[in-house]
Amino acid sequence: MRVILLGPPGAGKGTQAQFITEKYNIPQISTGDMLRSAVKAGSDLGLKVKDIMASGGLVSDDIIIALVKERIQQPDCAGGFLFDGFPRTIPQAQALVDAGVPIEHVVEISVDDEQIVARLSGRRVHEDSGRVYHIEHNPPKTQGLDDETQEPLIQRPDDTEETVRNRLNIYHSQTKPLVEFYQGLAATESNALTFSTVNGLGALEDVQARLVSALT
């Protein structure tokens, strides 16, 4: 099963991607995780990515596609994979088509902008482990501290309200057109590509049930 999850930042793609990968036993390919790993490693690429992410901008297609092409060649992708946060632009989507990467399901998770601002600006992260909390919806046992290590939690620069709104503006101008792109492919392609829109609001179990319905 080869799946693409679309939707604005903060729509819950990461959480739902984990659910899908566990249910269908396929790896999650998150460009966000790959980029943050590059930043943490402090490589030349990581330093370049750090400045772009901190300002809420999008990393160039060349960098993202290079990361993704390398990833899907690994053995664990033989039975399928799930793209989380990729593609973000029409050129990236077209690059997948040109590379002959077969996609079976494209699912858009839909959430209102103001709901997303509330979700992301309240997010706190334990940097070393990647554990994510929310000051309202999933608070740590002790305010500001990771449950397991008691180390301080941080707010990532890309989670501040100003940066979130900037990212949403970029999403609507550059990434939202992917919805029409894949709707068009689903209508014209002879393969089994399907496109679905899923409401990302509500209880986690309800959203997951909608996803399973879209993928079957």
Structure confidence by residue, pLDDT tens digits, 39-56: 887 877 788 888 887 887
pTM (predicted TM-score): 0.71
Per the structure block, which two tokens stand in for 151?
């180390």
91: CB partners within 8 A, 6+ apart: 61
Average pLDDT over residues 143-167: 93
pLDDT at 68 over 90: no
pLDDT band at 191 (very low <50, low <70, confident <90, very high): low
pLDDT > 70 fraction of the chain, expressed in percent and rounded: 98
**Average per-residue pLDDT for the chain:** 87
Q: Say which range, 5-9, 65-69, 111-115, 145-149, has the weakest mean pLDDT.
A: 65-69
H-helix segments, 42-128 = 44-54, 61-72, 90-98, 113-121
Asked if 88 and 56 touch (Cβ cutoff 8 Å), the reply is no
pLDDT at 35 over 90: no
Instruction: Select the more confidently predicted residue: 72 or 162.
Output: 162
Residue 70 has a pLDDT of 73
Asked if 211 and 198 touch (Cβ cutoff 8 Å), the reply is yes
Q: What is the CA radius of gyration of the chain?
A: 17
C-alpha distances out from residue 78 to 3, 4, 5, 75, 123, Å: 13, 16, 19, 6, 34
pLDDT band at 110 (very low <50, low <70, confident <90, very high): very high
Asked if 64 and 31 touch (Cβ cutoff 8 Å), the reply is yes
Which tens digit of pLDDT belongs to each residue from 92-106? 899 888 877 889 999
Residue 189 has a pLDDT of 61
Asked if 56 and 8 touch (Cβ cutoff 8 Å), the reply is no
Residues marked active site are found at 13, 88, 123, 156, 167
Among the four given CATH numbers 3.30.230.10, 3.40.50.300, 3.10.180.10, 1.10.287.610, the one describing domain 2-214: 3.40.50.300
